[in-house]
A and B are shown apart, each in its own frame.
Chain A
Amino acid sequence: GQNIDQPTEMTATEGAIVQINCTYQTSGFNGLFWYQQHAGEAPTFLSYNVLDGLEEKGRFSSFLSRSKGYSYLLLKELQMKDSASYLCAVMDSNYQLIWGAGTKLIIKP
């Protein structure tokens, strides 16, 4: 079966760095997405990785290792507004998005 695993909840301090991991097992791979979702709102796109390596975009970076079925989202200089759920999603061989359950990130002052 297809499976996406990510921690349910993480807590970090304002100004610090946090890494949210995602491991996956899917039938085929056509890229991995990270989305941010604030409570009661729709997801917003953060990153897309299809090749191995690190993609940096401002305070957010995303890493992918296809051989390990592993990705992480790195958030630097955390701000209170970064409190949200972070969803990992993998596009399988049918170009269908398989979603993880999301990681709720709590930022403390």
Chain B
Amino acid sequence: GAVVSQHPSWVICKSGTSVKIECRSLDFQATTMFWYRQFPKQSLMLMATSNEGSKATYEQGVEKDKFLINHASLTLSTLTVTSAHPEDSSFYICSARDQEREGTYEQYFGPGTRLTVT
């Protein structure tokens, strides 16, 4: 149980284009999902917290107009990188909390999406 999927697993796009990454909780409902990015040999950096039906909360320094987050249902959150640039190339990981197990605060991670902007 507690499986989170991400799609696509990797994507290459040209500079200036937009890329959408999907994060789904497959066997549980997630009122809260998190989006992280990770550069090589560095730790996870939280970008934003996504709550179903409301606006995402972005961390300081993360441009909300560049990284659009939509959490339209209890099982799906999307991250859209708009007007991507080479410096946006990174490993993007989502995680989700099980609504039924909110008290444990455990986060279940997706497999990650590797974005390369050329």
Binding site for B on A (CB under 8 A): 30-31, 33, 35, 40-45, 48, 87, 91, 95-97, 99-102
DSSP class of A's interface residues: helix, strand, loop or mixed? loop
Determine whether B8 belongs to the interface, using a CB cutoff of 8 Å to chain A: no
* Closest chain A CB from B35 CB (angstroms): 12
Could you give 6 example pairs across A and B, Cβ below 8 Å?
Answer: A40-B114, A42-B111, A43-B109, A45-B107, A95-B105, A99-B44
Distance in angstroms between the alpha carbons of A97 and B46 in the assembled complex = 8
Which chain B residues in 10-31 approach chain A with CB under 8 Å? none
* Closest chain B CB from A4 CB (angstroms): 8
Distance in angstroms between the alpha carbons of A44 and B43 in the assembled complex = 14
- Partner pick for B112 among A35, A41, A45, A97, CB 8 A cutoff: A41
Q: Is the CB of A99 within 8 A of B43?
A: yes
* Closest chain B CB from A41 CB (angstroms): 7
Q: Is the CB of B105 within 8 A of A43?
A: no
Q: Is the CB of B109 within 8 A of A44?
A: yes
* Closest chain A CB from B45 CB (angstroms): 8
Closest to B6 in A: A42
Residues of B near A35 (CB, < 8 A) are: 109
Q: Is the CB of B43 within 8 A of A48?
A: no
Q: Is the CB of B112 within 8 A of A96?
A: no
Distance in angstroms between the alpha carbons of A97 and B110 in the assembled complex = 16
* Closest chain B CB from A86 CB (angstroms): 11
